Structures are given as structure tokens and as C-alpha cells.
Amino acid sequence: MIFKGVNNQTVEFKITNYQFPEITNCEYDSNWLLIYLKVKSDFGNWETVDPSLLVRDLKDIIEWFEKLSNDIEADSDSLVFMEPNLVFELTKIIAGKKRIRIKFDLESPHPNAKDEKEFYVDCEYNNTELKLIASELKKEAELFPERAFTNRK
């Protein structure tokens, strides 16, 4: 799927596979997802593939976008994960649109990134667009179910 940002910026987001497709019996190693990103931003253009999210992280992203699309307050204004390569952050609500900042850190920013510089793309969506994002992410998630999970409360 493609996140369309302000100023014609884009973030193509695609799950390419499990990081370890052959490991199916380990809670973490069985559930790391390889995330392909193709970023066209005010900071430059780049592509990367890294094990950035667990299957359950993807579920959290879907739920977060669904809550935003229904004007339900999420548990947090930002989503940060164990591998903080990607961060999703609600930065503003303006005239019925929500501004989402997608931040790139660790293995995800521009290849020439310096540690002190922040790389991100800002996107603005209405509730209908947010519902579509959640729906598209659900389609991606269906291809990569959680494997070898333990009972969590």
C-alpha cells in the first residue's frame, strides 16, 4: 500500500515475507516481518527492506488506524515498536483531517542519514481515508498470520 503524504511525498509499505519463514515454533523469530519501504520525501528518496515489525505490531497499527477513523481516542498518539525502525504519530487534527507522521529510524532512514537528523513523512487523512488504510493493511496482514504465539493477557 502507499501512504500519500503532503507535498507529493509517498511511503510505499509492503510486507515481503517473514524474516525467518522456516522457523515456525518460536514466538519472536517466527513472527518478525520483512517490511519493504520505498520513500519519496522532502529528505530524499530511498528503499529499504528490514525486519521492522512483528505480526502483532501490524495488528496494533490496524487497530490504531481504525480507532482514528472512528474518532475513538487511541491508547497513545504514537506507535513505537520493539524495533523502532518505524513510528506512526498523530501530530494534529485540523478541520476533520488527522495529520499522521511516519518516522524512519535505525535501519529505515535515508542511507546517508546522520543520527541527529529526523526523517519523516507527514500525511493528512480524513476518516474515510483512514478506514481505507486500515482495510488495506488488513489485506496485507491476512497473508502473514501470527505463528507460534504464547498466551498473552
Asked whether 20 and 30 are in contact (CB, 8 A), the reply is: yes
Length of the chain: 153
Which strand (E) or helix (H) includes residue 150?
none
Tell me the torsion sign for CA atoms 72, 78, 81, 85.
positive
Dist. CA 61–CA 87, nearest whole Å: 10
Q: Mind listing the pLDDT tens digit for each residue in 32-67?
A: 999 999 999 998 999 999 999 999 999 999 999 999
Q: Mind listing the pLDDT tens digit for each residue in 69-116?
A: 999 988 889 999 998 889 999 999 988 899 999 999 877 877 777 767
Which residue intervals of 37-103 are DSSP H helices?
Answer: 55-69
* pLDDT value of position 41: 95
Residues sharing a CB contact under 8 Å with residue 21, sequence separation 6 or more, in sequence order: none
Domains plus CATH for the chain?
Answer: 2-142 (2.30.31)
Q: For residue 37, how far is the Cα from the chain centroid? A: 10
Asked whether 120 and 104 are in contact (CB, 8 A), the reply is: yes
The sheet with strand 97-104 has its strands ordered as: 78-80, 86-94, 97-104, 119-125
The predicted model scores a pTM of: 0.91
CA angle, residues 109, 44, 57, in degrees to nearest 5: 35
Q: Mind listing the pLDDT tens digit for each residue in 98-107?
A: 999 999 987 7
Band of residue 121 on the pLDDT scale cut at 50, 70, 90? very high
Band of residue 127 on the pLDDT scale cut at 50, 70, 90? very high
Q: How is residue 10 written as a grid cell? A: 509517498
How would you classify residue 12: left for phi > 0, otherwise alpha for psi between -120 and 50, otherwise beta? beta
* pLDDT value of position 112: 74
* pLDDT value of position 73: 86
Classify strands 97-104 and 44-54 as parallel, antiparallel or unpaired: unpaired
